[in-house]
Amino acid sequence: MNIQISVMLFLSLVLSGCSQMFDKHVEWESVPPDHYPVLHAVGYAPISSQPGLDENTRMLQAIRASKLDAYRELAEQIYGQQVTAGSSMGGSELSEDRLQVAVSGVVRGARVIRTYPLGDLYATELELDMADVQRVYQSLNPPRRIHDVQYY
């Protein structure tokens, strides 16, 4: 009986020692898609409700606000929206109902296509080519090659 236990123990040690010879580092390569989409966004801002003493100042504020609104829309398309909702009950009646939406992200490489007044609104159209985003990402995070491989 002791011989069988000794043989089993010996085999388990030998097999566990060999398994370490096969541990290795594997580097994966990302595969680019066949087609990159081009995203479009339009932002709007009312001119008359902008702060400013004269019409030109309100127009400039509306231009800036419409551009920021277009960037927000692009960020929604890329990253999505985080929606938080809640309700409160008091005495079998709904006392509070709240909804909060947040967008967070970095948008690089967007181009202003058009910016124009539209009645009392100002509109800005943006375009984001995802192929440009990929190129920007690769310039900020260049691909790496294997310098050394160590087997354990």
Full-model pTM? 0.68
More confident residue, 15 or 6: 6
- Asked whether residue 83 is assigned to any structural domain, the reply reads yes
Alpha helices in the chain (DSSP H): 2-19, 55-79, 130-140
- Asked whether residue 25 is assigned to any structural domain, the reply reads no
- Asked whether residue 146 is assigned to any structural domain, the reply reads no
Which pLDDT tens digit goes with each residue over 72-81?
A: 999 999 999 9
- Asked whether residue 3 is assigned to any structural domain, the reply reads no
- Asked whether residue 56 is assigned to any structural domain, the reply reads yes
Question: Which structural domain range is residue 114 located in?
Answer: 38-140
Per the structure, the count of domains in the chain is 1
Which pLDDT tens digit goes with each residue over 97-150?
A: 898 999 999 898 899 999 999 999 999 999 999 998 888 888 887 777 666 677
- Asked whether residue 122 is assigned to any structural domain, the reply reads yes
- Asked whether residue 26 is assigned to any structural domain, the reply reads no
Structure confidence at residue 93 (pLDDT): 81
- Asked whether residue 128 is assigned to any structural domain, the reply reads yes
